[in-house]
Amino acid sequence: MAQLARRLGVGTSALYNHVAGKEEVLARVRELVSDRIDTAVFDRAPFFDALLIWARSYRDAFARHPATIAVFATTALSGAARTTEMYERVVLAFLAAGWPDAWASAHLRSTTMSRGKKRCWRACASS
């Protein structure tokens, strides 16, 4: 929090007038990044087309903020309701496409983990 306050040119105590602590700052930043990820595509495109568009928007959102990848990959999703809704929307799309529940959740986890992102990013970039 002290480093953030210095970068913003304010005192650390001033930050606490707006957020409860580091976890809330991270949750808010997570929401700003994930708000750029397109899940509405699952309502208007066939599943695999939608999945590709979603994966590209996921990649693009985090590519604009690469410093967040390691932080978000290692911190809980608490306090980020819109981000949770985004992931739930993707899992629901897998389920609606007929994927078994365990496979849908596992695929989403592997897609959004660091190694999975690299595989997905390469696949998205090559198409």
79-117: per-residue pLDDT in tens? 888 888 898 899 899 999 998 888 877 766 665 554 344
Residue 100's Cβ-count burial label (10 Å; 0-12, 13-18, 19+) is exposed
Return the CATH number of the domain spanning residue range 34-126: 1.10.357.10
What sign does the dihedral 45-65-75-116 (CA atoms) show? positive
Nearest to 33 by CA among 1, 59, 2, 5: 59
- Reading the block at residue 45, the tokens are 């495109």
* pLDDT above 60: residue 124: no
At 20 the pLDDT is 87
**0.75 exceeded by the pTM?**
no
Q: Tell me how far apart the alpha carbons of residues 65 and 73 are, in angstroms, rounded to a whole number.
A: 13
Average pLDDT over residues 7-30: 88
Question: SS3 for 50?
Answer: helix
Provide the mean pLDDT of the chain.
83
pLDDT higher at 44 or 127: 44
